[in-house]
A and B are shown apart, each in its own frame.
Chain A
Amino acid sequence: MPWRLLRFALNKKHPEPRMFTFHEKLKSSYDVVIIGAGGHGLAAAYYLAKEHGITNVCVLEKGYIGGGNTGRNTTIIRSNYLTPEGVQFYDESVKLWQDLSTDFDLNLFYANRGHFTLAHTDSALRTMRWRAEVNKHYGVNSEVVGPEVVKEAAPMIDLSCAGHAPILGALYHAPGSVARHDAVAWGYGRGADQRGVEIHQQTEVLGIDVQAGKVKGVNTSRGYIATNKVLCAVAGSTPRILKMVDVKTPIYIHPLQAMVSEPIKPWLDPILVSGSLHVYISQSARGELVMGASLDPYELHGTRSTLDFVEGLSTHMLEMFPFLSGVKVMRQWAGMADMTPDFAPVMGKTPVEGFYLDSGWGTWGFKATPVCGKTMAHTLVNDTPHPLITGFSMDRFRNYALTGEKGAASVGH
């Protein structure tokens, strides 16, 4: 070991600054309390501080920063959705992503790769065409391409998919990208922290004090906090929090699993998704193949992994890429996805005054992190939903006016 490194390690006063300020105690009151220090919650805190000058904000986190679905997704960023609401919303998000590394002064490893959604049937190809046209109408770069373009972008692919599901074409979305997901939470967290927002990890919310239909405070495992505004951004734990304020929603929780292979030489540049085979795959900067499939088939409030998942996903992977048969799976994990019946989020105000919701992000939340933070910050400050999220209000169910976003990942359609 070099002498300087040893001296550095033994030195009690490290010159490196900590990324986040440690706060010994909670204050007795805050202007805004955000539950959940994942990407969405921290992004909201960041934009509250940066764009609205509200810094008396506390972010409460049961576990650690970015330990929920922010650190469990497969890091794909895209905006080729199907409904006008979805396309506009995610497109705004993709634009925000592109400047984020500079904004944070932190390398997010944002890599523009191009994104193919493979079509194995005529009906799938029709849906691709529809998505491409909706996208183009809103100025989003999407087009339908033939199998030869897929082969050129990913030469190792078996276009017949072992003869079971020949690839007829694909929806190609050039802005499709990947980014390092933990860094997104850290970047937003540090940015908020530097502007005076307090992040309290290992602090669980035990109850929400609602009096006469208004939020008055939050009970935590480290004491009571008075506040008039609470933002709930807790993904798979949303129903638990909603139970505390007695608000009913259609949100239900199914686990979503993913896995990575051992690192191998770079061979796959684009991101590939196959709805029919339930596979999505990209190669990370480290060379690991990041793979996901579809939602687990029943409700569960836990993050256990199953062998069924690895078997099923590997089978389909080998149909697409037979040469991977010798590659080992390195690890697998799961996240709790908060699903909605129309595959669109539930965002904005709730019947409880001062209680705001950023939820229903199921399998599609990571790519929306920046725009969610921005629109929720706007919603909290103005007490009216941001124009981009009016289509995602919880009233839509009572009014039978669902959004019908079928461009979401990991769901069959």
Chain B
Amino acid sequence: MKILTCPLNGPRPVSEFFYWGEVRPMPNPNLASDDEWADYVFNRNGAPGVKKEWWCHTPSNTWFIAERDTEKDVVLKTYFYQGEE
């Protein structure tokens, strides 16, 4: 991957982007047990696959979601966050 398509600015070099990890739903901090919270804070799905990830186009500070195959390094699509599904 050398070029990533920002939903606002179109295709841009990947060096303009910042990666912020997989999209993960946050458990309710008031209801989660200590173990659930630690699981949310630390544990990651480290295995390869197609993942939904947070990316940011840094010059325009545009945050969006990319669906990327982390084994082949191919982006399937990018779009703005639509709220929790």
Contacts and interface: CB of A to CB of B under 8 A. Distances in A.
A301 B48 contact: yes
Contacts of A250: 42-44
A252 B44 contact: yes
A29 interface: no
A297 interface: yes
A242 interface: yes
Given A300-B70, A304-B73, A397 B44 contact: no
Contact of A302 (B15, B19, B73): B73
B85 interface: no
A400 B46 contact: no
B71 interface: yes
Nearest to A248: B43
B32 to A, nearest CB: 13
Given A240-B48, A297-B19, A248 B70 contact: no
Contacts of A122: none
A243 B43 contact: no
Contacts of A399: 38
B47 interface: yes
A3 interface: no
Contacts of A240: 47-48
A239 interface: yes
Interface residues of B, number: 21
A374 B72 CA distance: 36
Nearest to B66: A298
A299 B22 CA distance: 10
B15 A301 contact: no
Contacts of A51: none
B84 interface: no
Contacts, number: 56
B73 A249 contact: no
A308 B42 contact: no
B47 A397 contact: no
Interface string A385-410: 00000000000011110000000000
Given A302-B72, A398-B35, A398-B38, A239 B43 contact: no
B19 A298 contact: yes
A238 interface: yes
Given A301-B70, A302-B71, A302-B72, A397 B42 contact: yes
Given A240-B48, A250-B43, A397 B38 contact: yes
Contacts of A299: 19, 21, 51, 53, 70
Nearest to A300: B73
Contact of A253 (B39, B46, B53): B46
B46 A238 contact: yes
A243 B46 CA distance: 9
A249 B45 CA distance: 8
A85 to B, nearest CB: 18
B69 to A, nearest CB: 9
A250 B48 CA distance: 14
A239 B47 contact: yes
Interface in A236-271: 238-240, 242-243, 248-253
A341 interface: yes
Contacts of B44: 249-252
A12 B48 CA distance: 45
22 contacts: A240-B48, A243-B47, A248-B39, A249-B43, A249-B44, A249-B46, A250-B43, A251-B44, A251-B46, A252-B21, A253-B46, A253-B48, A297-B18, A299-B19, A299-B53, A300-B73, A301-B70, A302-B71, A341-B42, A397-B38, A399-B38, A400-B38
Interface of A: 238-240, 242-243, 248-253, 297-302, 304, 308, 338, 341, 397-400
Report the 8 A-B pairs with minimum CB-CB distance, sorted nearest first: A239-B46, A298-B19, A301-B48, A397-B42, A250-B42, A248-B43, A239-B47, A243-B47
Given A239-B46, A249-B44, A398-B35, 8 more contacts: A249-B43, A250-B44, A251-B46, A300-B73, A301-B70, A302-B71, A397-B42, A400-B38
Interface of B: 15, 18-19, 21, 35, 38-39, 41-48, 51, 53, 70-73
